[in-house]
Amino acid sequence: MNIILLGPPGAGKGTQAKLLEDTRGMKQLSTGDMLRAEIAGQTEIGLRVKAIMDSGALVPDEVVIDMIAHRIEQPDCAKGFILDGFPRTVPQAEALDAMLAAKNKKLGAVIQLVVDEDALLARIEKRAAESTTVRADDNAEALKKRLTAYRDQTAPIVPYYEGKNMLKKVDGMAAVNLVSEQIDKILG
Ligand code: AP5
Ligand code: MG
């Protein structure tokens, strides 16, 4: 099955995607991770997006749409993929629909991790404190911008998928294992 994990920065998209990789053999496709790899490799894309990402703003739609279009065709996505951080705008959601139709693939579910915004700074700060490579956008200032981008540009995809009867909400404030249980129930 192919699914979307949707939620603001720090909602737990990456955490749950990794667990689904382990338990179901689905492939995590994190556009954030892909872009950070481009930056680390100092590729043309990396050089283009670095300042944008560091600030907490969204990179241009066509950059991530191209990445995902190529990625979902790879053999490791055959058992299903988890879109973590994509789509993030209505034009990205529309482009995803078009590419899935063209490749004869389907979306099984869009799972929204519903969280309390006030808890997210603490989560991001905890992650920064625990990791050896701290993300350039894991600071209070960039997080503020990431949350604004989520509210203004990403939240409109919620009604987009509600309109297609595809949206499932889970309580993202529950403990990690309880969030996983809710997702498992949805995926069956
Ligand atoms: P991206 O890498 O996707 O970052 P993000 O959306 O800001 O989200 P995070 O990765 O910070 O959070 P997460 O939801 O994965 O949470 P996690 O599981 O790590 O994007 C970064 C940037 O790339 C964007 O700002 C943009 O510039 C660009 N970009 C990427 N995709 C794009 C797109 N499609 N279009 C345009 N631009 C794009 O959890 C966070 C912390 O909380 C961890 O420490 C974790 O242990 C903890 N935690 C998780 N779950 C729980 C829980 N249930 N209870 C308590 N703690 C928990
Ligand atoms: Mg993530």
Quick: pLDDT tens for 138-184.
999 999 999 999 999 999 999 999 999 999 999 999 999 999 999 99
Cβ(64) to ligand 1 under 6 A?
yes
Identify the pLDDT of residue 141: 96
Q: Is the peptide bond before 156 cis (omega within 30 degrees of 0)?
A: no
The reply to whether CATH 1.10.540.10 applies to domain 3-187 is no
pLDDT of residue 27: 98
pTM assigned to the model: 0.97
Q: Which of 57, 64, 60, 84 has its CA nearest to residue 147?
A: 57
Q: What is the rounded average pLDDT for all residues in the chain? A: 97
Question: Which protein residue has the closest C-alpha to ligand 1 atom 43?
Answer: 127
pLDDT of 4-42, one tens digit each?
A: 999 999 999 999 999 999 999 999 999 999 999 999 999
Q: Spell out the SS3 assignment of 58-116.
A: CCCHHHHHHHHHHHCCCHHHCCCEEEECCCCCHHHHHHHHHHHHHCCCCCCEEEEEECC
Return the sign of the alpha-carbon dihedral for residues 64, 118, 158, 29.
positive
Q: Which atom of ligand 1 lies nearest, measured to the CA of 173?
A: 53
**Contacts (Cβ under 8 Å, ≥6 apart) of 54:** 136, 137, 142
**Gap between the Cα atoms of 127 and 152, Å rounded:** 25
Give percent of the chain above pLDDT 90: 99
Which residue type occupies 75? Answer: P
Judge if the beta carbon of residue 36 lies within 6 A of ligand 1.
no
Alpha-carbon separation of residue 85 from 93, 129, 132, 146, 188 (angstroms): 11, 22, 22, 12, 23
